[in-house]
Amino acid sequence: MLHKTARENFDLQLASLISEVKDLGMNARDAVRVSIQALLSNDIQAVKKIISEDQRINEKRYELEIKCIALIATQQPMAHDVRLLAAILEIITEIERIGDYAKGIGKVAVRLKDVKIDDDWQHFLVSMTNKGLVMMEQGLEAFILLDDKAAREIPGLDDEVDEIYNQLADHIAHSYSINPSNYRQAQCVLWAAHNLERLADRVTNICERIVYVQTGEISEFDNPEIAA
């Protein structure tokens, strides 16, 4: 994508920006992984690290936003370049949200610090997490390569995550109806799962942006199965 052109300076800056966005995304991904681990193994120390990491993610995001706007102002980007920079502004917002989700899961982990989560619920959470993390990795990879074909495939996993979430929600509801005293664990686990489901949605958004950058068309990857 980047060839030796009359805009070498601009291209170098773009490449550096893209690389930093990917790093930011990877940091968010790691934060999510650590937060789920902390939840499942009741590790409070890890949660502290997650919170400070989230702070760093937010700062980094603002830094990238400023760089992005500076490039827009100074380089008069057109066509592909301007779509890319606009997309980057959106993507770093999405990544920052994902970081917030990691923090949210960490807070849940603190609330459940003395509680061991039921095994079958754990199973659901792990499954959702793995899929979500794969989505993130694949999404960031597609972003680096600006591969819109790959980007189109990733939202399919979002459907699977949604499916697992629904199953988990049913499971929790059923369990709660049997044993109402389990209220707190149920609520927290549901909240964590909700964050994971939203994470998958965010990655879908990122993929939509990648497709926009390459084709100039904005389209939503709708999930027709989810009715309401």
Q: Which residues bind other proteins (CB under 8 A)?
A: 3, 5-7, 10, 76-83, 216
Compare residues 85 and 128 and give the one whose CB is closer to other proteins: 85
Residue 54 beta carbon to other proteins: minimum distance, rounded to whole angstroms: 34
Nearest to 111 by CA among 190, 29, 172: 190
- CA pair distance 46, 30, nearest whole angstrom: 12
- Residue 96 near residue 205, CB atoms below 8 Å: no
Residue 2 beta carbon to other proteins: minimum distance, rounded to whole angstroms: 10
- CA pair distance 172, 189, nearest whole angstrom: 9
Compare residues 39 and 210 and give the one whose CB is closer to other proteins: 210
- Residue 154 near residue 142, CB atoms below 8 Å: yes
Compare residues 79 and 228 and give the one whose CB is closer to other proteins: 79
Residue 190 beta carbon to other proteins: minimum distance, rounded to whole angstroms: 42
Residue 79 beta carbon to other proteins: minimum distance, rounded to whole angstroms: 5
Compare residues 86 and 115 and give the one whose CB is closer to other proteins: 86
- CA pair distance 148, 221, nearest whole angstrom: 13
- The DSSP result for 25-85, as a single string, is HHHHHHHHHHHHHHHHHT-HHHHHHHHHHHHHHHHHHHHHHHHHHHHHHHH---HHHHHHH
Residue 220 beta carbon to other proteins: minimum distance, rounded to whole angstroms: 18
Residue 218, both tokens: 């904005």
Compare residues 10 and 221 and give the one whose CB is closer to other proteins: 10
